[in-house]
Amino acid sequence: MRAMVIDDSRAMRLILKRIAGQLGFEVSEAANGREAIDQLAAMDTPPELALVDWNMPEMNGLEFVIAVRADPKYKQMTLMMVTTEGEQGQIVRALAAGAHEYVIKPFTPDAIVEKLALLGLVPNGAAA
Amino acid sequence: MTLTAQEFAFISGLVRRDAAIVLETGKEYLVEARLLPLARQSGLPTVSEFVIKAQQRPEPETYRKIVDALTTNETSWFRDGEPFAALTHTVLPDLIPNRSNNRSLRIWSAACSSGQEPYTISMVLHEAMPAGWSYEILATDISTEMLGRAESGMFSQLEINRGLPATMLVRHFERNGANWRVAPSLQKPITFKRLNLAQPLPPMAQFDVVFLRNVLIYFDVETKRAVLQRVINLLKPDGWMFLGAAETTIGVDDRFERVSTGRSSAYRLKAGSSSAPVRAQEKG
Amino acid sequence: MNVHPGPTEEDLQTIAEQVWASYLDPDGSSPLILLPPEKPSREVSASVSMTGAWRGHVVIWTSATASRHAAAALLGVELEDVTVEDVTDGLGELANIIGGNVKSLVIGPTALSLPHVLISGESGYPQVVEVCKLAGIWRDEPITISVLQSAERAGRAG
């Protein structure tokens, strides 16, 4: 399975890449929504999972989620937002825009793993 | 460092059994640091002495405190995921046709800890029960401290990040400063009460579903049997019981049958056992 | 001067606890000890600014040594391999996370800037009021987290 980590922070990309990598995902990176969209367009098949930050230059995470959900090509992608935006209204906005899950920073690796398990994206027994 | 290798192994075994946390060698300092307050509370000067005493005089409450001290923030909401799916897809469809008289269900969360389990049950029932039906949940634990936390309905951001679907979060919680508070509508059907399962229980009306997850493992076989007998007395003949993912009644009490429910299992009293009804129709 | 109620020291404690538990002290062996350090350090600073309904900054001040430990922990590299870029990225993300959580506690709508990290010399923030502060010791090094609000004249629209 493949995952894309989309965050303008290199540190956060490394953290998420580690977690997803340990679960067996092949991980690609993008520094903002625009880069991610461009990368997706160049792929034959999209990754199963995208971990998406909210606040990024060029195209933010919410805009990315809206764009992806509007395109039937990316129907099979699971979109999980991983962000500091923790107000209730923001979470509602993200879910309404089509995000499948939402993790508020700071998070422990277990938090990501358990949410992925709930989405059926963790092979049995692989959870930390 | 006072902990011996054997004492450390004992503690790791304990923590691994319940919380599935692995404490590799090298983490002895962690055990020392986290158990020191407990040792002091017991009036013992070192962690080593505390652990020796815990081994010599096994007390479930002490074991619970040890596991809690080493697994802070480890409790997840839809813990193991499956039992709550089983509640919705197997248990409710089984019970609801037989409860149309009073249109209500009684659930017992028998080791409710900091509250994630009873609130998760409340969320599931809130969403899955038919209109016009009600439910009540009794949430009990041996620890007054845990009950206090559970009753407050307040959880940290780290806690609500753990295995709680975001849609459930926004539907059933509200931000409260840096924390999150469960909605009053979810709390209302829950009563919190201190109970020690290893002691005789006060008389109570029987339950439709009992959650007895990850608590039997702390007891020896005799106490396990006694606890299960107390639960049987309080379980309606066609009621259901959930144990922890790694637990079973096999070898302990053969009046239960295990029913596979998707990826996990649930228990009910065997048809024909003296405490069970004669079933008119068994579901396929 | 009209200073809106902002986050409290207790809020900062909660946020710091969670950040440490998630990234800097996952196994409990190197906690943030909330005692004011004897010698606070401003060798390294990482901050985010907020604009909108609430204006101000959230600043982390710490020693070069602590900043390298933080970078090592966050980026998953060995201490001796930590580069200047690692410190900038790592500490910047810490400021982003702590600042983002503070943002959820102040009046909105408010936007968070990209983090600014200064590795040498002292950073100054003119015309601010310190709303709350957390002073502590981590790995024997001083670390301070401050919430600074821009001093504004009463009546000015947000």
- Residue with token string 């947000």: C158
Q: Does B39 have pLDDT greater than 90?
A: no
Answer whether B170 sits within 8 Å of A91, measured CB to CB: yes
Strands ordered across the beta sheet of B173-176: B154-156, B179-182, B173-176
Q: What is the pLDDT of residue C4?
A: 46
Query: Average pLDDT for residues B212-232, to the nearest whole number?
Result: 88
C19 in contact with B at a CB cutoff of 8 Å? no
A11 in contact with C at a CB cutoff of 8 Å? yes
Return the ∠ at Cα A79 (arms to B128 and C109), rounded to 5°.
Answer: 90
* B164 and B182 Cβ atoms separated by less than 8 Å: no
* B264 and B245 Cβ atoms separated by less than 8 Å: yes
**Side-chain-side CA neighbours of residue B48 (13 Å):** 6
A128 in contact with B at a CB cutoff of 8 Å? no
Chains touching chain C, criterion 3+ CB pairs below 8 Å: A, B
B162 in contact with A at a CB cutoff of 8 Å? yes
- Chain C hits for B156, CB-CB cut-off 8 Å, are 14, 18
- Chain B hits for C104, CB-CB cut-off 8 Å, are 175, 178
State how far the Cα of C94 lies from the Cα of C73, in Å rounded to an integer: 11
State how far the Cα of B78 lies from the Cα of B83, in Å rounded to an integer: 8
> Looking at domain B82-269, what is its CATH homologous superfamily?
Vaccinia Virus protein VP39 (3.40.50.150)
- Chain A hits for C113, CB-CB cut-off 8 Å, are none
pLDDT band (50, 70, 90) for residue B19? low
Q: What is the pLDDT of residue C154?
A: 35
Q: Does B283 have pLDDT greater than 90?
A: no
**Which of the residues A91, A113, A119, A122 would you substitute to probe the B interface, choosing the one with the greatest number of B C-beta atoms within 10 Å?**
A91
A117 in contact with B at a CB cutoff of 8 Å? yes
DSSP string, A28-82: EEESSHHHHHHHHHT-SS--SEEEE-S--SSS-HHHHHHHHHT-GGGTT-EEEEE
In a domain, C139, yes or no: yes
Cα radius of gyration (chain A): 13
CA distances in angstroms from A36 to A44, A112, B36, B82, B150, listed in the order given? 14, 20, 49, 34, 42
* Six-digit token string for B279: 């079933």
Q: What is the pLDDT of residue B277?
A: 38
**B157 → closest Cβ in A86, A99, A110:** A86
Q: What is the pLDDT of residue B214?
A: 83
Report domain extents, chain B: 5-70, 82-269
In a domain, C108, yes or no: yes
Mean pLDDT of chain A: 93
- Chain A hits for C49, CB-CB cut-off 8 Å, are none
Which of helix, strand or coil describes residue B40?
A: helix
Q: What is the pLDDT of residue B37?
A: 77
State how far the Cα of A31 lies from the Cα of A29, in Å rounded to an integer: 7
- How many separate domains does chain C show? 1
Q: What is the pLDDT of residue B253?
A: 86
State how far the Cα of C91 lies from the Cα of C95, in Å rounded to an integer: 6
- Identify the helix (H) or strand (E) that includes residue C10: helix C9-19
pLDDT band (50, 70, 90) for residue A123? low
Residue C39 domain boundaries: 9-23+30-150
Q: Which residues of C125-157 are buried (b: 16+ CB within 10 A; e: fewer)?
A: eeebeebbebbbbbbebbbbbbbbbbebeeeee
Largest CA distance in chain A: 39
Q: What is the pLDDT of residue B72?
A: 56
**Which ipTM value was assigned to this complex?**
0.93
Residue partners of B41: CB distance under 8 A and separation at least 6 = none
Q: What is the pLDDT of residue B218?
A: 78
Answer whether B165 sits within 8 Å of A101, measured CB to CB: yes
State how far the Cα of C53 lies from the Cα of C148, in Å rounded to an integer: 14
Q: Would you say the C-alpha torsion A33, A39, A42, A46 has a positive or negative sign? A: negative
Q: Which domains does chain A have, with CATH numbers?
A: 2-81+95-118 (3.40.50.2300)
Q: Which residues of B153-162 are buried (b: 16+ CB within 10 A; e: fewer)?
A: bbbbbbbbbb
* B105 and B132 Cβ atoms separated by less than 8 Å: no
Within B173-269, residue ranges assigned H as helices are 184-187, 221-234
For residue C132, the domain's CATH number is: 3.40.1550.10
CA B201 to chain centre: 17
Q: What is the pLDDT of residue A125?
A: 46
* Structure-derived torsion over alpha carbons of residues B193, B217, A110, A103, reported in degrees to the nearest 10: -30
Q: What is the pLDDT of residue B57?
A: 86
* B217 and B20 Cβ atoms separated by less than 8 Å: no
pLDDT band (50, 70, 90) for residue B234? very high
**Which of the residues A5, A7, A13, A14 would you substitute to probe the C interface, choosing the one with the greatest number of C C-beta atoms within 10 Å?**
A14
Residue in chain C closest to A13 (alpha carbons) equals C75
CATH of B5-70, one of 1.10.155.10, 3.40.50.620, 3.10.129.10, 3.30.70.260: 1.10.155.10
**Side-chain-side CA neighbours of residue C106 (13 Å):** 31
Residue ranges of A 75-114 with Cβ closer than 8 A to chain B? 86-88, 91-92, 94-95, 99, 101-104, 106-108, 110-111, 114
The whole model's pTM is what? 0.85
B158 in contact with C at a CB cutoff of 8 Å? yes
In a domain, C155, yes or no: no
Q: Please report, rounded to a whole number, the percentage of residues in chain B having pLDDT higher than 90.
A: 50
Q: Which of A75-84, B145-154, C115-124 has the lowest mean pLDDT?
A: C115-124
The more confident residue out of B188 and B247 is B188
Tell me which residues of chain C have a pLDDT lower than 70: 1-5, 121, 153-158
State how far the Cα of C117 lies from the Cα of C95, in Å rounded to an integer: 9
